[in-house]
């Protein structure tokens, strides 16, 4: 199936033109988020001989490694939770509709986060990290984005890529500190958005970038 490499969204093009600066300076070309949830946008190299499904699996591996690294630096112990239907890669052939997920319980006594393993080996916990990898869109690699390839797979807000720290009992968790560590472990072509401080902001390679120039 031929790939359509026209720019996928003005929002993504905006990120591309802003470059991949690990800086606290404002990047006016970053898109204006449409929702009130955290998400990931970015690009992944599209190289000959590497299928779109392999690219998707590679992103899941990178997200999981970033989560494990960040949790270790926070002093947390993670316990993977088994998800039924965690991926649709075996049944879906449209890269824009790919979905994969992972879920971790957190053991962190200082935060009151506990993991319980039941007799049937099912894991329950009151503090969770969810990892979601959504769809991919083929496009020419924009100027300023370093992925090592002239072509790339792009992913935006609507494609539901995200790494989220949350609790089931409303306890306060160090979302910003954790997200900065996650961001620092992600490739330079990936940005993480957090809807905090009323307006929200971006994280890039561990640095905070304002979401607006206002």
Residue % of the chain over a pLDDT of 90: 58
Closest CA to 133 of 78, 190, 184, 79: 190
- Is 0.75 topped by the overall pTM? yes
Distance of CA 180 to the CA centre of its chain: 12
pLDDT digits (tens, 9 = 90+) for 72-94: 999 999 999 889 899 999 999 99
Distance of CA 64 to the CA centre of its chain: 10
pLDDT digits (tens, 9 = 90+) for 140-175: 887 777 888 889 999 988 899 999 999 988 899 999
User: What is residue 17's predicted lDDT score, i.e. its pLDDT?
Assistant: 38
CA–CA gap between residue 26 and residue 24 (Å, rounded): 6
């Amino acid at each position: 199936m031929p790939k359509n490499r026209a720019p996928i969204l003005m929002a993504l093009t905006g990120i591309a033109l802003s470059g991949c600066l690990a800086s606290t300076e404002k990047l006016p070309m970053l898109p204006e988020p449409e929702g009130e949830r955290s998400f990931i946008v970015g690009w992944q190299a599209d190289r000959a001989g590497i299928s779109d499904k392999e690219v998707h699996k590679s992103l899941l591996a990178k997200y999981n490694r970033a989560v494990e690294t960040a949790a270790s630096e926070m002093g947390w112990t993670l316990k993977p939770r088994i998800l039924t239907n965690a991926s649709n890669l075996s049944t879906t052939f449209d890269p824009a509709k790919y979905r994969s997920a992972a879920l971790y319980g957190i053991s962190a006594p200082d935060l009151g986060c506990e993991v319980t393993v039941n007799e049937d080996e099912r894991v329950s916990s009151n503090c969770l990290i969810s990892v979601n990898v959504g769809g991919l869109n083929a496009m020419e690699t924009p100027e300023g984005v370093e992925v090592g390839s002239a072509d790339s797979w792009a992913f935006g807000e609507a494609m539901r890529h995200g790494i989220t720290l949350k609790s089931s009992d409303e306890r306060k968790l160090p979302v910003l500190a954790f997200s900065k560590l996650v961001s620092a472990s992600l490739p330079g072509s990936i940005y993480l958005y957090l809807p905090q401080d009323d307006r929200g902001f971006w994280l890039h390679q561990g640095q905070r970038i304002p979401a607006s120039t206002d």
